Structure 1
Amino acid sequence: MMEALRLRNVDEDFKAHRQAWLNREVQAEKQIGKKSKPVFGTFDQFFDYEKSISKDYQKFETTKQAETFESRISKIYQKRKGGK
Structure 2
Amino acid sequence: MMEALRLRNVDEDFAAHRQAWLNREVQAEKQIGKQSKPVFGKFDQFFDYEKRLNNNSQKLETTRQAETFESRISKIYQKRKGGK
TM-score under structure 2 normalisation? 0.98
User: Matched residues in 1 for 2:14 and 2:56: separation?
Assistant: 20
Deviations 1:28-49 (A, max 9, x none): 1111111110000011110011
Q: Which runs of 5+ in 2 are unaligned?
A: none
1:64 aligns to what?
64
Could you tell me how far 1:71 is from its partner in structure 2? 0.3
2:51 aligns to what?
51
Q: How many residues align?
A: 84
Could you tell me which amino acid in structure 2 is paired with residue 2 of structure 1?
A: M
User: Matched residues in 2 for 1:9 and 1:55: separation?
Assistant: 28
Structure 1 stretches of 4+ moved >6 Å: none
2:2 aligns to what?
2
Identity %: 87
Could you tell me how far 1:27 is from its partner in structure 2? 0.6
Q: Which runs of 5+ in 1 are unaligned?
A: none
User: Matched residues in 2 for 1:56 and 1:11: separation?
Assistant: 20
